[in-house]
Amino acid sequence: MKSDPARQELTHEEALELYYYMRLNRSLDELLVRLFRQNKIVGGLYGSLGQEATSVGTAYALAKGDWIAPLIRNVGSLLVHGYKPRDIMTQYMARVTSPTQGKDGTCHFGDLKTHHVVSPISMLGDLIPVMAGVAMAGRYLGQKIVAMTWIGDGGTSTGAFHEGMNFAAVQRAPLVVVLENNQWAYSTPVNRQAPLRDFADRARAYGIASYTVDGNDLVAVLRIAREGVERARQGHGPVLIEAKNMRMLGHAQHDPAEYVPREMFDYWKARDPLTRYEKYLDRHKLWDEKEKAAIHARIESELAADLEFAENSPFPPAELAEQGVYCNGCHNIEAQWRRAKEELMPPKSAVTPEWTIKDFGGMETKPAVAADRSEQQHSVIEGAVVHPPQTDRKRKITAPGSRRARR
């Protein structure tokens, strides 16, 4: 037993905590669907059924102080990061007790001071450059933080995604982008989004490292996310992690998803991430029935309490609509310096404004393999495909002088 690698990878405590979040994510989702059917939810309800392992596993890889910007399906990431079910319930129910006081709904909320969560906006892709900025600011302030955000397969087609990834890459910002390839963007299948087998290949346009991981395998997701987070934190630049999973419901509750072939749901149902993780815990004897039951009981009571809180919460007063367009005397975000400011002030900050151009861009020049990248030996990682950053790949020389080709 001692040598079971699974037990080394996860502590007993972590294994149970992960299960708590996985189960909580699932149960909260189910509860929200019930509330939706009872007409207690305002607007649409966007589910995360089938995608829990990706949300939970990636966020779990982060350290205290790291920043996240989840999308609306990343309920699991919010829970791991410290938000409570009541926060999500009150948002969906448009109550004044919600993190946005009813100003916005769904998982459109955040908090700069305690949770370090940046709220998404609906326009897909826009978070990527914003989180690149968060990552750059963290580095600038001398904090050793990582910024993590999520994007759908569909969202990778946006210009904002491209601009943000590229800027992060050239800045080597400590940014981890989780590309949740759940096979669909609303009714659009992934092969109508781009002719790619692995959306991790999007990373190749930016010369950054990327991974493709089985998004329904919580442990594999966590493993890859930890590696990616570490890589980013160490200053090796941004990382793109493609997690393949499946959106097991329609785009939102109004959508019966009739465009999805039934067998496709069957295929993925057989790979349900929660069941798989339960089996994993069983197989590796990481828990017992009592522990499992305790977690279930805990979740049940927490959800019941939070639901009561939400249902008893009032709607916001109408006049609140008029407030808060501008921040007047409210700004209290202090930069947290973890380095000497003098480094950034003259005369210490003085530099010579000169570009160094190692080669001149010709065809003859040798590939410039970044020293700090070359030691990275990406080979077999369980449950994942690893793509090294572009500059690591060697060009095959097949002709003398300036004439060469690569197949």
Q: Is 387 in the site for a second copy (CB under 8 A)?
A: yes
CA distances from 76 to 19, 41, 82, 83, 88 (A): 11, 19, 10, 10, 11
Q: Is 378 in the site for a second copy (CB under 8 A)?
A: yes
Q: Using CA of residue 321, residue 325, residue 330, residue 333, what is the dihedral sign?
A: positive
Least distance from a second copy to the Cβ atom of residue 66, Å: 23
Q: Is 153 in the site for Mg ion (CB under 5 A)?
A: yes
> Which residue has its beta carbon closest to ligand TPP?
152
10-14: Cβ within 8 A, 24+ apart = 10/219, 10/222, 10/286, 12/286, 12/287, 14/60
Q: Is 336 in the site for another protein (CB under 8 A)?
A: yes
> Which residue has its beta carbon closest to Mg ion?
152
Cβ-based nearer residue to ligand TPP, 158 or 253: 158
Q: Is 152 in the site for Mg ion (CB under 5 A)?
A: yes
3-state secondary structure of 234: coil
Q: Is 28 in the site for Mg ion (CB under 5 A)?
A: no
Question: 6, 16, 33, 96: which one contacts another protein (CB under 8 A)?
Answer: 96
Q: Is 198 in the site for another protein (CB under 8 A)?
A: no
Question: 237, 249, 277, 286: which one contacts a second copy (CB under 8 A)?
Answer: 237
Q: Is 189 in the site for a second copy (CB under 8 A)?
A: yes
CA distances from 14 to 9, 48, 273, 343, 399 (A): 9, 22, 17, 40, 54
Q: Is 181 in the site for a second copy (CB under 8 A)?
A: yes
Candidate segments 20-28, 153-161, 274-282, 294-302, binder of a second copy by CB under 8 A: 153-161
Q: Which of 245, 260, 156 is nearest to 199 (CA)?
A: 156
Q: Is 257 in the site for a second copy (CB under 8 A)?
A: no
Cβ-based nearer residue to another protein, 260 or 286: 260
HSE of 141 in the Cβ direction (CA atoms, 13 Å)? 16
Distance CA 132, CA 13 (A): 32
Q: Are 253 and 45 in contact (CB under 8 A)?
A: yes
Q: Is 247 in the site for ligand TPP (CB under 6 A)?
A: yes
Question: 96, 141, 170, 294: which one contacts a second copy (CB under 8 A)?
Answer: 170
Question: 12, 34, 37, 197: which one contacts a second copy (CB under 8 A)?
Answer: 197
Cβ-based nearer residue to ligand TPP, 48 or 98: 48
Give the rounded distance of the alpha carbon of 29 from its chain centre.
18
Distance CA 311, CA 89 (A): 9
Q: Is 223 in the site for ligand TPP (CB under 6 A)?
A: no
How wide is the angle at C-alpha 309 spanned by C-alphas 315 and 59, nearest 5°? 100
Q: Is 80 in the site for ligand TPP (CB under 6 A)?
A: no
Q: Which residues contact 177 (CB under 8 A, 6 or more apart)?
A: 128, 131, 148, 149, 150, 151, 165, 238, 239, 240, 241
Q: Is 338 in the site for another protein (CB under 8 A)?
A: no
Q: Is 244 in the site for ligand TPP (CB under 6 A)?
A: no
Least distance from ligand TPP to the Cβ atom of residue 122, Å: 5
Binding-site size, another protein (CB under 8 A): 90
Q: What are phi and psi of 319, to 5 degrees?
A: -65, -20
Distance CA 272, CA 216 (A): 7
- Percent helix, strand, coil in the chain (nearest 5)? 40, 10, 50
Site residues (CB under 5 A) for Mg ion, limited to 181-210: 182, 185
Q: Is 51 in the site for Mg ion (CB under 5 A)?
A: no
Q: Is 371 in the site for another protein (CB under 8 A)?
A: no
State the residues that interact with ligand TPP by CB under 6 A. Answer: 73, 122-124, 152-155, 158, 182, 184-186, 247, 251
